[in-house]
Structure 1
């Protein structure tokens, strides 16, 4: 069985994508959600936002996805950072419209999920140290 080099997209909130963030790494596989602000069919570049934070999305590899300004979209792909120009883009390999998703509830569940993962991780480390 062949092993794929594609990593799962780590769910992040757009405001977490800042240079000091552990998610802000060239090639990092991410899952993001935001409202479509603009789409340029000629370049295949979309721009999504969440509040006052925005991110460019490379959509060249997506087929059969209809872009509708103002709709909510989820993208999974790899972060591309041009350190010379400071341009940041998520090169999407998966995209879908997620209108109807409660973004606040999604962000709360992501926060709780991370808290639980952290607790489980620290608990298993403690058991290993005791054993």
Structure 2
């Protein structure tokens, strides 16, 4: 019997989400954060950015979320890769996280990964 459990969204920065990344995989469940650059009501496509990295978000399944260009949003969903290697995240969860310092968030994510890597090494020896 196949499992229908929803996978957790792996924490990923937009800069890490490129074709050579381990996270750049069809159907990968990801959590991404970025500043809203554009939003189209007609297509329900949002574009978020963090520094020079951008990602399209398909927000058609989100309800009760109002979009404001310039605000910071966090999305959890599944990654879909187009034939031209362009990625789009089909969001199942979205929230406004205005007030979040993206630089500090990215630094804390790196520290978390460092801690986890050290902890895994400690428990395997």
Q: TM-score range by the shorter chain?
A: over 0.9
Q: How does 1:71-90 map to 2 (within 5 A)?
A: 71-82=71-82, 84-90=83-89
Q: Which runs of 5+ in 1 are unaligned?
A: 127-131
Q: How far apart are 1:4 and its partner, in Å?
A: 4.4
Q: How far apart are 1:85 and its partner, in Å?
A: 2.3
TM-score by length of 2: 0.95
CA deviations 1:85-105 (Å, max 9, x no partner) are 222100000000100011111
Q: In structure 1, what is the equivalent of residue 5 of structure 2?
A: 5
Q: In structure 1, what is the equivalent of residue 110 of structure 2?
A: 111
**Quick one: distance in 2 between partners of 1:44 and 1:87?**
17
Based on CA coordinates, which of the two structures has the bigger radius of gyration? 1
**Quick one: distance in 2 between partners of 1:7 and 1:15?**
22
CA deviations 1:40-60 (Å, max 9, x no partner) are 111110000011110000000
Q: What secondary structure sits across from 1:108 in the alignment?
A: helix
**Quick one: distance in 2 between partners of 1:29 and 1:70?**
25
TM-score by length of 1: 0.90
Name the count of aligned residue pairs: 123
Moved over 3 A (4+): none
